[in-house]
Amino acid sequence: MKFFRLNLVVVVLSTSIFLGHRVCNAAEAPLVAAQELHARQGMGNFLAKTAKPGAELKVGYLGGSITAQAGWRVKSLALLRKTFPEVKFTEINAALGGTGSDLGVFRVQPEVLDLKPDLLFVEFAVNDGGTAPEQIIRSMEGIVRKTWSALPECDICFVYTVTEALVGPMLEGNFPRAASTMEIVADHYGIPTIHMGMEVARLAKEGTLLWKAKLPVSAEEKAALEGKFVFAPDSVHPHVDTGHELYLQAIERSLPGVRAASKPPQPHALGAPLVVDNYETARMLPAAEATLSAGFKALEPKDPLAARFVRVKTWLAARKGGETLSFKFRGTRAAIYHVVGPDVGQVIVTLDDKPPRTVPLFDAYCTYQRLSTLVIGSDLPEGVHTVKIELSAELPDKEAILSKRNEKMDHPERFSGGAFYPGALLLAGELVK
């Protein structure tokens, strides 16, 4: 493969938004000038490993649904195999649709780090598009620090994608807010970043991009496009043969610059954190470690829910009102990793001495089963916290909730239950027995 040197421009971010290692007014932080590659310290460890005879390397992909597609992830691994033909590459696919870095920081240990990657791509800029910058920094810094604490020779690369809804700042020459915030973390740790959507934004600005359209098949359909480039069927998830191809080309163009900037191989050292309340202590624990009432049952591996959502080893199920799950933890954040779908109900959450709050597990997308996160408390004061979750005997108004998306209960019997399916405790801290 022929490499071309890229001109690199390093954007130095102001640290004035930090005070006492806690993020202050991060929402007002300036947007970063849009650029395809910020090579920073490159990938010296990874590149050195590729030069070893008979090398066997693992590449991890942590991200959302755009990474879950058979697109840039599959294409970039093929590119690495082509670029380094003597290396045997293995993929670690930890992409999970509809999730952001606030769940990724809890998933990274069991789903990626335990498998010992040599290179980790992190893609959350789209799913973090509506997330507060403070939360993004806590999560992304947590991913970095957890990775280098466990695997100091593993290189990391942040990659950014784009959608029609988020492209606005790029048309004006800036990264959107989420990517700009992630650049703060990348700059602090010397992590290379690649914005794979720069060419997408360029085509959109010149008016030659169709964000949402089917790929043309017939000669008539191709002619009707009048030379325009079709990006995606939904303005978000690129067509594998078009939008994802642009993403691949961005990575391919960036490799020479990454190589040129790479320093000699050495373990990554963790210095002072950007924020002391980052999620380096994030951990995913089996929900069975909580105190459970007698009505909670572990699902058998052959159960359709357990068989489908294998990321969690043991799923629990409670189906009657009054069943409780409780625990104590020392830390700043707690959530429950669970499955939602047509037959889930609502829970009553009590945190410390705060008034109980009723939280519907059922939402407007619950026509099918999917993974979700029930946030119990975030940005909590340091110390021991007590959590009690009780399954409510009352059901949410499922018909009214579905109507928000013009959905209906196709088969009412599917929606008749009021279950709760917890799988894991997500703690920024530690469980207290």
What are the CA-CA distances from residue 348 to residues 275, 337, 366, 400, 413 (Å)?
32, 16, 19, 20, 24
Q: Which residues of 120-153 are buried (b: 16+ CB within 10 A; e: fewer)?
A: bbbbbbbbbbebbbbbbbbbbbbbbbbbbeebeb
- H or E segment at 430? strand 421-432
SS3 label, residue 89: strand
DSSP 389: E
Asked if the model's pLDDT at residue 24 lies above 70, the reply is: no
Give dist(CA 218, CA 393) in Å, integer. 56
Give residue 287's region: left, alpha or beta (phi > 0; psi -120 to 50).
Answer: alpha
Give the per-residue pLDDT at 14.
32
Residue 380, Cβ neighbours under 10 Å: how many?
A: 18
Rounded CA-CA distance 107/254 in Å is 28
**Whether residue 227 has pLDDT greater than 50:** yes
CA 190 to CA 211: how far, in whole Å?
Answer: 33
**Which homologous superfamily does the CATH classification assign to the domain defined by 282-432?**
Galactose-binding domain-like (2.60.120.260)
Closest CA to 158 of 103, 208, 129, 120: 120
**pTM of the full predicted structure?**
0.89
Span 167-181, average pLDDT: 97
Q: Give every CB contact of residue 53 below 8 A, 6+ residues apart in sequence.
A: 86
The continuous run of DSSP H or E covering 423 comes out as strand 421-432
What's the rounded Cα separation, in Å, for the pair 69 and 103? 19
pLDDT at position 7 over 80: no
Tell me what pLDDT residue 28 has: 54
What is the mean predicted confidence (pLDDT) over 304-308?
96
Q: 123: part of which helix (H) or strand (E)? A: strand 119-123
What residue spans in the chain does CATH classification 3.40.50.1110 cover? 18-261
| Ranges in the chain annotated CATH 2.60.120.260 | 282-432
Average pLDDT, the chain: 92
Residue 240: phi and psi, rounded to 5, are -60, -40
Q: Which range, of 9-23, 46-60, 329-343, 346-360, averages the lowest pLDDT?
A: 9-23
Q: Which CATH number fits domain 18-261: 3.40.50.2300, 3.40.50.1110, 3.40.140.10, 3.90.730.10?
A: 3.40.50.1110
